[in-house]
Amino acid sequence: MSFLRSRFVQAVLILVLAAVLLRYGIRPPAPWSVFTLYMAIVFMGVLVFVSADADSWRSFVRPLWSVLVDRDKRYLRYGLMIVIPLLLGYYAYTQAAARPQAPPELRAVHPAPPDSIDLRGKPFNISGAENPLRKDQASYATHVAAGAAIYFRNCMYCHGDNLDGQGHFAPGFNPPPANFQDPGTIAMLQEAYLFWRIAKGGPGLPSESTPWNSVMPAWEDRLTEEQMWQVIMFLYDFTGQQPRRWESH
């Protein structure tokens, strides 16, 4: 075991042990960038360790110098001259080689809604529909408050308490939940579009808009028609957005 007193052997053992612990001893596994960062720190610490004094440094470089100049190490030297370029070339090839990738999935952000839907067994015209609750301006605050209660009870977990799509469950979804604070979402849509999306959810999206992986549930099974309109009023009121109006012909 006298070889363990060599600073070179000690340095190699420290690096190998650190690599094994960082790679396989952490769960979940650390990203490659974190692994390389910590290994660089360990390597610098090893250099400080082996260069603490002159004897330690000579003990560290002696095996390296022996491989470079000693005649009896020439076969090892020739072998390293072949193996090291091959390993570097293989690493460069693996980094530059094309990797198999899944085909791109084209997705319509705002698929066209149908002209009408079936809402609990009754036909409901989407095209041209307006929020009926806005006609009663005296009860506007009441409807917005009711919509807020419904939202925070049912929608906040995905769309976030600030309506920015950053709910607790959001990181697990692809596509992510809609960010209602984004001017490119509800401000670009009529309220009837939101009603359709809330009522039918992901299962109600048209087949021509596939592939869709939306986990939005069909809220028509859980909310009344009035409650869905109230949630829509809350979304626009909270974000300060204005719904898009139907174009007059």
Across the chain, the runs of DSSP E, i.e. the strands, are: 116-119, 122-125
| pLDDT per position as a tens digit, 209-222 | 665 667 889 999 89
Report which of residues 56 and 112 the model is more confident about: 56
Give the pLDDT band of residue 233 (cuts 50, 70, 90): very high
Closest CA to 180 of 196, 199, 194, 200: 194
> Does residue 139 carry a pLDDT above 90?
yes
| pLDDT per position as a tens digit, 82-102 | 999 999 999 999 988 888 777
What are residue 118's DSSP bridge partners?
A: 123
| pLDDT per position as a tens digit, 163-207 | 999 999 998 887 889 999 999 899 999 999 999 999 998 888 877
User: CA distances (Å), 203 to each of 107, 153, 158, 171, 218, in order?
Assistant: 15, 21, 17, 21, 7
User: CA distances (Å), 38 to each of 13, 25, 30, 178, in order?
Assistant: 16, 13, 10, 37
- For residues 81 and 75, give the distance between their C-alpha atoms in angstroms, rounded to a whole number: 10
pTM of the predicted model, to two decimals?
0.57
DSSP 201: T
